[in-house]
């Protein structure tokens, strides 16, 4: 065996498949053991191999488990076990083992080979090295190598992308199947399902996109990587990429509200004095936020300053509208008064601005103008007066009724 060719082949396979050279070597050793067993071994044997990468020679050994007679089913116990299974009484948990001379060895016999061996340890019995293998054994080795390489490749992909879960990566649209879009994200394909796509966004093969790694699911056919363009955290991750102050922690994104493809609101705060969180996020002449807006196909992004006080935070959240007053009410409700000419701006098209502000702050927001609020107060006062008047009328009616009944009672007594 040419060791230089052998070593370079292992390195090439490892690089192509994205797995370690050690894993490739283990795969070859497993394949050699399988070929040895197929050609020279017996049924039930456990054979292992060790390949010396320096000399190119392989060592083989058979593995046997050390047991004693108490751990083994007797002939009578085996007969009873067969009868139970024949009667379909259900499988009983096997606390003992069925002795197989190819897989097990009695403790007394094992001590003759290795004096310090203990019960339930494995005994390695060296086998004669072989270099000639038939066609069937070679085919078995090939199948084992392909299977193990595939398994190792799946594990490597799973480990790599599991660590990237919750991150943003760049991908290229590979193909579109129905409503699902498949992106090449490096070593594998990720799936962008319809519900995670930006509404009215069109995709075409070869298109490069930034996507959020939503979750990874392990299946029998390999890991499935679910991607998202609609998830709110995509916004914060894109800002981390574009804004150094956010990636370094000098500015933090405290809350996000998003309607994908249309509009988003983010609340930012500074952790250091002298840093303007809004200015840092927007960038000089809006360059930083413009990059993100372009990446999201023109989605508008409102950047507001986060505040501890709910009144101030709610007022900021309704930007770009000017707020006159914020009143906190019961059951997580807030009444916001804005100028008459700012009412439509505060509410937004189809109520979008106030809806996003409510999502961002976590408060139910009722927006009104001073005039409408005054009308409402007047209406309350009228209702209040009406109630008082009704009460007075009710009292008068009751007094009149009482007088009438007393007069009737006195008349009956006179008669």
Instruction: Tell me the C-alpha to C-alpha distance, in Å, between residue 115 and each of 64, 69, 105, 135, 271.
Output: 15, 18, 14, 40, 68
Query: Is 295 domain-assigned?
Result: yes
Does 128 lie in the same domain as 191? no
What's the CATH code of the domain at 205?
A: 2.40.50.140
Instruction: Tell me the C-alpha to C-alpha distance, in Å, between residue 251 and each of 243, 325, 385.
Output: 9, 28, 54
Query: Is 105 domain-assigned?
Result: yes
Q: Any alpha helices (H) in 58-199, and if so which ranges?
A: 75-86, 107-113, 135-163
pTM of the entire structure? 0.66
* Terminal-residue alpha carbon distance, the chain: 139
Does 115 lie in the same domain as 13? yes
Does 106 lie in the same domain as 180? no
- Is the CB of residue 194 less than 8 Å from the CB of residue 166? no
Does 14 lie in the same domain as 130? yes
Number of domains in the chain: 3
Does 26 lie in the same domain as 170? no
Q: Which pLDDT does position 278 carry in this prediction? A: 94
Q: Which pLDDT does position 147 carry in this prediction? A: 81
Pick the last residue of a domain from 275, 290, 306: 306
Q: Which pLDDT does position 415 carry in this prediction? A: 46
Pick the last residue of a domain from 267, 291, 306: 306
Tokens (6 digits) for 216:
């990874």
Query: Is 153 domain-assigned?
Result: yes
Q: Which domain holds residue 195?
A: 164-228
Query: Is 63 domain-assigned?
Result: yes
Return d(Cα 174, Cα 181) in angstroms, integer. Answer: 8
Q: What are the residues whose beta carbons fall under 8 Å from the beta carbon of 13, sequence distance 6 or more?
A: 19, 24, 149
Query: Is 80 domain-assigned?
Result: yes
What's the CATH code of the domain at 248?
A: 3.30.300.20
Pick the last residue of a domain from 177, 210, 228: 228
Does 287 lie in the same domain as 183? no
Tokens (6 digits) for 327:
């009143």
How is residue 198 annotated by DSSP? P
Task: Encode the chain (415 residues) as per-residue pLDDT tens digits.
Answer: 444 555 566 677 777 777 777 877 888 888 888 888 888 888 888 999 888 777 777 888 899 999 888 888 877 777 777 776 655 555 545 568 888 888 899 988 888 998 889 888 999 998 888 777 778 777 877 788 788 777 787 888 888 888 889 999 999 999 999 999 999 998 889 999 999 999 989 999 999 999 999 999 888 777 899 999 999 999 999 999 999 999 999 999 999 999 999 999 999 999 998 899 999 999 998 999 999 999 998 999 999 999 999 999 999 999 899 999 999 988 889 999 999 898 999 999 999 999 999 999 999 999 998 876 555 554 555 456 556 666 666 666 665 666 666 556 655 545 4
């Amino acid at each position: 065996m040419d060791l230089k060719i052998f070593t370079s082949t292992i390195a090439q396979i490892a690089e192509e498949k994205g797995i370690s050279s050690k894993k490739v070597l283990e795969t070859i050793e497993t394949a050699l053991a399988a070929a040895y067993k197929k050609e020279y071994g017996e049924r039930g044997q456990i054979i292992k191999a060790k390949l010396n990468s320096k000399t190119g020679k392989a060592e083989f050994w058979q593995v046997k488990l050390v047991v004693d007679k108490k751990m083994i089913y007797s002939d009578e116990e085996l007969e009873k076990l067969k009868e139970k299974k024949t009667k379909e009484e259900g499988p009983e948990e096997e606390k003992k083992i069925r002795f197989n001379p190819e897989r097990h060895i009695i403790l007394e016999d094992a001590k003759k080979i290795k004096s310090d061996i203990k019960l339930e340890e494995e005994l390695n019995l060296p086998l004669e090295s072989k270099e000639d293998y038939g066609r069937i054994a070679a085919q078995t080795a090939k199948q084992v190598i392909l299977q193990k390489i595939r398994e190792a490749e799946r594990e490597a992909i799973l480990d790599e992308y599991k660590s990237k879960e919750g991150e943003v990566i760049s991908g290229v649209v590979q193909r579109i199947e129905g409503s699902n879009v498949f992106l090449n994200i490096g070593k594998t394909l990720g799936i962008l399902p319809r519900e995670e796509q930006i509404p009215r966004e069109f995709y075409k093969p070869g298109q490069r996109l930034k996507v959020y790694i939503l979750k990874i699911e392990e299946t029998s056919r390999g890991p499935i990587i679910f991607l998202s363009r609609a998830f709110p955290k995509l916004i914060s991750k894109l800002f981390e990429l574009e804004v150094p102050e956010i990636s370094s922690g000098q500015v933090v994104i405290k809350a996000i509200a998003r309607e994908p493809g249309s509009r988003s609101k983010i609340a930012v705060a500074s952790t250091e004095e002298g840093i303007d969180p809004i200015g840092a996020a927007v960038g000089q002449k809006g360059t930083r936020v413009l990059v993100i807006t372009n990446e999201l196909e023109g989605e508008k992004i409102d950047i507001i300053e986060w505040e501890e006080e709910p009144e101030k935070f709610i007022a900021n959240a309704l930007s770009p509208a000017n707020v006159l007053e914020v009143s906190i009410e019961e059951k997580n409700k807030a009444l916001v008064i804005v100028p008459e000419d700012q009412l439509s701006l505060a509410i937004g098209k189809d109520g979008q601005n106030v809806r996003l502000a409510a999502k961002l702050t976590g408060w139910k927001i009722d927006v009104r103008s001073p005039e409408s609020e005054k009308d409402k107060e007047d209406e309350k006062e009228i209702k209040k007066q009406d109630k008082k008047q009704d009460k007075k009328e009710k009292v008068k009616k009751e007094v009149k009724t009482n007088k009438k009944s007393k007069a009737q009672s006195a008349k009956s007594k006179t008669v």
